Amino acid sequence: MAMKQSVGKRAGVTILAWVVAFLIFFPILWTFLTSFKSELDAIAMPPKFLFFNWTLENYAEVQQRSNYLHYAFNSIVLSIGANVVGLLIAVPAAWSMAFAPTKRTKDVLMWMLSTKMMPAVGVLVPIYLLFRDLHLLDSLWGIGLVLMLLNLPILIWMLYTYFKEIPVDILEAARMDGASLLNEILYVLTPMAVPGIASTMLLAIILSWNEAFWTLNLATSNAAPLTAFIASYSAPEGFFWAKLSAASTLAIAPILILGWFSQKQLVRGLTFGAVK
């Protein structure tokens, strides 16, 4: 079909596709550009697109004024820590579901998926009260625990779909050779499943990084990650667009890059294997 299309039509489709892609991407590009403007250039009318005095002072000021590094550190610790712990719990579970299924395995998997569908507001009140009484509000441990539990069903599901593709014979051969279960998982299964585990982790980290219900409600300052850092910019203080843009760029850049690397695996993870 493609061959038969006329050159004109193909050029038209190409231009249209690029215009659409550009429009969708534009808000991010605009934020990026604005982050290098002075506050006056940021609100200039007509807008200055490329020809302004490029400056890095917003980045310095964002760090100085609202301590970006503190929040970035929390985001990194939370999103990596929570999911590493989650992985340690999820790998054995996914192993047993993929390689030692029982009659109830399917039901358990479905039940785990169903916990993802419970709206957060349904459990906000008890979790908030429990955390208050256990002194877990605004603590990295508390928020990390929540982020880990939020992702656990996704981790198990994705790992399960990857493990299913590994031939069980190989694991059984290792078992015949007298490998213990721990060795079987650590030295036989894990190396074969590295690509699957890596993309699972990537998606989980992205989801944790952007989680903005629990992090906003359970953290105020000490344990607050970048979602809360940006929310503190919601009350405008004089000219602040360039600084908002710098803060936003800093908050999304790391995960955008990770996301671009993982986009191929994303579909599978986000649809629980329903679309491959």
Binding to another protein (CB under 8 A): which residues in 96-135?
Answer: 96-97, 99-102, 106, 108-110, 112-130
Planar angle of CA 267, 273, 276, nearest 5 degrees: 55
- Residue closer to another protein by CB (options 181, 194) is 181
- How many other C-beta atoms lie within 10 A of the C-beta of residue 14? 10
Residue from 62, 78, 87, 226 touching another protein (CB under 8 A): that is 226
Structure-block tokens of residue 205: 């980290």
Please provide the DSSP assignment of 156-202 as one string.
HHHHHHHHTTS-HHHHHHHHHTT--HHHIIIIIIHHHHHHHHHHHHH
Indicate whether 92 belongs to the interface with another protein (CB under 8 A).
Answer: yes
Distances (CA, A) of 118 to 111, 115, 123, 275: 11, 5, 8, 22
The least distance separating another protein from the CB of residue 199, rounded to whole angstroms, comes to 14
The least distance separating another protein from the CB of residue 37, rounded to whole angstroms, comes to 11
C-alpha span between 152 and 88 (Å, rounded): 10
- Residue closer to another protein by CB (options 54, 261) is 261
Binding part of the chain for another protein, among 52-60, 136-144, 189-197, 213-221 by CB under 8 A, reads 213-221
Binding part of the chain for another protein, among 51-59, 62-70, 192-200, 232-240 by CB under 8 A, reads 232-240
The least distance separating another protein from the CB of residue 64, rounded to whole angstroms, comes to 20
The least distance separating another protein from the CB of residue 239, rounded to whole angstroms, comes to 10
Residue from 6, 7, 8, 46 touching another protein (CB under 8 A): that is 46
Indicate whether 69 belongs to the interface with another protein (CB under 8 A).
Answer: no
Structure-block tokens of residue 85: 């712990």
- Residue closer to another protein by CB (options 35, 196) is 35
Residue from 62, 137, 156, 197 touching another protein (CB under 8 A): that is 156
Determine contact, residues 241/126, Cβ cutoff 8 Å: no
Indicate whether 259 belongs to the interface with another protein (CB under 8 A).
Answer: yes
Structure-block tokens of residue 242: 């360039």
Residue from 142, 144, 153, 196 touching another protein (CB under 8 A): that is 153
Residues of 25-60 as b/e, b for ≥16 C-beta within 10 angstroms?
Answer: eeeeeebebbbbbbbebbeeeeebeeebeeeeebbe
